Structure 1
Amino acid sequence: MGTMQEDEGLGYGSSLPVPSVQEIVRADPKNIPEKYIKDVEDRPKASDNSQLSLHIPIIDLSLLANGDVAERRKLDVACKEWGFFQVINHKCDEAIPKMKESVAAFFDLPLTEKKKYAMAANDIQGYGQGYVVSEDQKLDWNDLLFLMTLPCNMRNVKYWPLTIPSFKESVDEYASEIQRVTDEIFKNLSLLMGKEENCVKELHKDMKQGIRMNYYPNCIRPDLVLGVSPHSDASSITLLVQEDEITALQIKHKGEWIPVRPIPNAIVVNVGDVLEAWSNGIYKSIEHRAVTNEERSRISIAAFVIPGNEAELNPVETMVDDDRSPRIYRNDVKYIDYIRYTLAKKMDGKLANIEYLKLGT
């Protein structure tokens, strides 16, 4: 396994250490510390929008791979109108359950063992919680393990729990399969943007993959907390695998929070802020959050497709038209500056992040 220098972080930023939510629940399932209780306006509310989940686009990757024009148009509409879709027939059927088992095995470890992989003071890799920038902020009801997975020379072995049997093998296989799905989506997005099929991949320059493994404990009052606060992703796209039996992910569509009913074995894909900028706002990054469950804990696995530090986030020329689609995004932002900007703040919706990329800011 390739490794970076162990005393060097990614250079993206850091997150403050906080208590393990899993251990809080283990010690006293009825205890919800005040730091986790959201302000009234931020709490999840009962929604009657579940029927809209049926309208979330579903993309058949096997059709995309075969050059199906109608399926490519569906992808175009999904990215424009939703910023979100679920992918079926992706051929990751063997890799997904292995990865889920390895993630579950990590969170089953004793706390003393998990702490061996704790985030360093200068890094976001490792075990902890993300986007904690202040001792005073409200916290999310989750624990996570974040690892850089591709390319292999980006990996830092000190954060990898290699004492878990088959952990490395499961992550290797999963990362490779997710990269294959990513490549197919990027090829079709390139064609939709009027470019050669390798365009979107090349825009990333030194493309990376990072995987966030999430553990959401059950919560006796799910109406008071959030598993993950509302945010959009500072990636080009994100590919997520979630539990088949629990509806917890919600997306903001036309101002309403819509629960995403899992399709068994599907991969959830959302547009990130980077793709929104490259497409000059034609494709929309999606604001999303996760709620908790009173009865059951939940695991999810999010693979972020990350541009190289020097990748430029200005719009592709084919997505700019002085009359119909004038340029609204800056041409002087590099990815390293954007990711540092986002990680210096708590998760707080989409607007503040995306405005940083727009002209006039």
Structure 2
Amino acid sequence: MEVFPVVDMEKLNGEERGATMEMIKDACENWGFFELVNHGIAIELMDTVEKMTKEHYKKCMEQRFKEMVASKGLEAVQSEIDDLDWESTFYLRHLPVSNISEVPDLDEDYRKEMREFALRLEKLAEQLLDLLCENLGLEKGYLKNAFYGSNGPNFGTKVSNYPPCPKPELIQGLRAHTDAGGVILLFQDDKVSGLQLLKDGEWIDVPPMRHSIVINLGDQLEVITNGKYKSVLHRVIAQSDGTRMSIASFYNPGNDAVIYPALALVKADETSQVYPKFVFDDYMKLYAGLKFQAKEPRFEIMKEMESNVTLDPTATV
């Protein structure tokens, strides 16, 4: 059994940098996931965000979730449910414009801590994109520029809680899917597990680790790397004990960013470019209805639309 990749970012600053970069490269090419430790985000901030997220769920969301479960009769289901997720969520937008002050029911202290946490994650995402550029042989800043569009990247957070489920064998916490966007940074519960990824035909647990940030790659990075890196199917298994916290932040291209394989990664022979060119917002509109289906047909549909896409002449090549 292969060991899930855990990357110690402190080692990027010393003589183990080469081996650490190789570990990131292998994780991107063969897993689509890896876990970061010593990533530079203060432990105290993470502890505060976790505490406040769990308090907010108890105070504002737990009862609503119980009422939803009761209204749909989910506690007594006898057969598998394949069109519903056993999760309680809310969303925060950070870039290009924050909506944190408008999201209802959040205490002011919680808003403040989430703003700070998002700033730290944004910096970490951009640092990671440059590490990927280095491994791919792309110039520094290429991926950030590719995501930029006219107003900068989209960056937002999905805050989820997965309460105990009476029939975990019949309902998924979150159904299997690949993520549509760029790079995803997840702060997950270190006591209640449930996140799994599909590797070589087997579902593998993403280990809960205290104060780690789990990274996974979205569909856009698969396209830009021309398939060298791939987005990977993952899911959340419902559990009968404990409520699992998940804070997933998505660093995605801007709505009007034109996404296409980096020319440096496409061989001279044009047939080696297997991915389409498209506007990110068009992909997201398509993804909204096909999230829980295979990604390959999404790419095919975008390929059929690509004759309508024109490249910005100032785009990075």
Q: 1:348 aligns with which of 289, 293, 306?
A: 293
Give the aligned partner of residue 143 of structure 2. 200
Q: Please tell me whether the aligned partners of residues 217 and 296 of structure 1 are also in contact (alpha carbons under 8 angstroms).
A: yes
**Percent of paired sites with the same residue:** 28
Q: Please tell me whether the aligned partners of residues 193 and 244 of structure 2 are also in contact (alpha carbons under 8 angstroms).
A: no
Distance in structure 2 (CA, Å) of the matches to 1:180 and 1:346: 28
Distance in structure 1 (CA, Å) of the matches to 2:113 and 2:64: 18
Structure 1 residues 69 and 111, CA gap change in structure 2 (3 angstroms): closer
| Matched ranges for 1:262-281 at <5 A | 262-281=208-227
- Aligned CA-pair RMSD: 2.6
Distance in structure 2 (CA, Å) of the matches to 1:217 and 1:340: 30
Could you tell me which amino acid in structure 1 is paired with residue 267 of structure 2? D
Q: 1:291 aligns with which of 210, 233, 237?
A: 237
TM-superposed CA distance for 1:56, in Å, is 1.5
Distance in structure 1 (CA, Å) of the matches to 2:11 and 2:299: 32
Structure 1 residues 103 and 70, CA gap change in structure 2 (3 angstroms): same
276-285 or 188-197, which moves further after superposition? 188-197
Give the aligned partner of residue 119 of structure 2. 176
Distance in structure 2 (CA, Å) of the matches to 1:355 and 1:85: 28
TM-score, length-normalised on structure 1?
Answer: 0.73
Q: Please tell me whether the aligned partners of residues 79 and 271 of structure 1 are also in contact (alpha carbons under 8 angstroms).
A: yes
Q: Please tell me whether the aligned partners of residues 92 and 98 of structure 2 are also in contact (alpha carbons under 8 angstroms).
A: no
Give the aligned partner of residue 105 of structure 1. 55
1:64 has 2:8 as partner: no
1:212 has 2:158 as partner: yes
1:158 has 2:102 as partner: yes
1:244 has 2:183 as partner: no
Distance in structure 2 (CA, Å) of the matches to 1:226 and 1:326: 38
Q: Please tell me whether the aligned partners of residues 86 and 267 of structure 1 are also in contact (alpha carbons under 8 angstroms).
A: yes
Which structure has greater helix proportion? 2
Q: Please tell me whether the aligned partners of residues 60 and 105 of structure 2 are also in contact (alpha carbons under 8 angstroms).
A: no
Structure 1 residues 65 and 315, CA gap change in structure 2 (3 angstroms): farther
Give the aligned partner of residue 338 of structure 1. 283
Structure 1 residues 359 and 59, CA gap change in structure 2 (3 angstroms): farther
Q: Please tell me whether the aligned partners of residues 219 and 294 of structure 1 are also in contact (alpha carbons under 8 angstroms).
A: yes
Q: Please tell me whether the aligned partners of residues 82 and 171 of structure 2 are also in contact (alpha carbons under 8 angstroms).
A: no
Q: Please tell me whether the aligned partners of residues 49 and 113 of structure 2 are also in contact (alpha carbons under 8 angstroms).
A: yes
TM-superposed CA distance for 1:60, in Å, is 1.8
| Superimposed CA distance per residue, residues 196-248 of structure 1 (whole angstroms, 9 cap, x where no aligned partner) | 21111111111121100001110122111100000000111111111111220
Q: Please tell me whether the aligned partners of residues 86 and 268 of structure 1 are also in contact (alpha carbons under 8 angstroms).
A: yes
TM-superposed CA distance for 1:112, in Å, is 11
1:328 has 2:274 as partner: yes
Structure 1 residues 281 and 230, CA gap change in structure 2 (3 angstroms): same
TM-superposed CA distance for 1:85, in Å, is 0.5
Could you tell me which amino acid in structure 2 is paired with residue 96 of structure 1? M
Could you tell me which amino acid in structure 2 is paired with residue 276 of structure 1? E
Q: Please tell me whether the aligned partners of residues 177 and 291 of structure 2 are also in contact (alpha carbons under 8 angstroms).
A: no
Equivalenced residues, count: 286
SS for the counterpart of 1:109 is helix
Structure 1 residues 337 and 102, CA gap change in structure 2 (3 angstroms): same
Give the aligned partner of residue 231 of structure 1. 177
Q: Please tell me whether the aligned partners of residues 61 and 88 of structure 2 are also in contact (alpha carbons under 8 angstroms).
A: no
Give the aligned partner of residue 221 of structure 1. 167
Give the aligned partner of residue 28 of structure 1. none
Structure 1 residues 65 and 185, CA gap change in structure 2 (3 angstroms): farther
TM-superposed CA distance for 1:66, in Å, is 5.9
Structure 1 residues 328 and 346, CA gap change in structure 2 (3 angstroms): closer
Give the aligned partner of residue 86 of structure 1. 35
Distance in structure 2 (CA, Å) of the matches to 1:324 and 1:258: 36
Distance in structure 1 (CA, Å) of the matches to 2:247 and 2:118: 11
SS for the counterpart of 1:240 is strand
Q: Which runs of 5+ in 2 are unaligned?
A: 66-80, 307-317
TM-superposed CA distance for 1:354, in Å, is 4.3
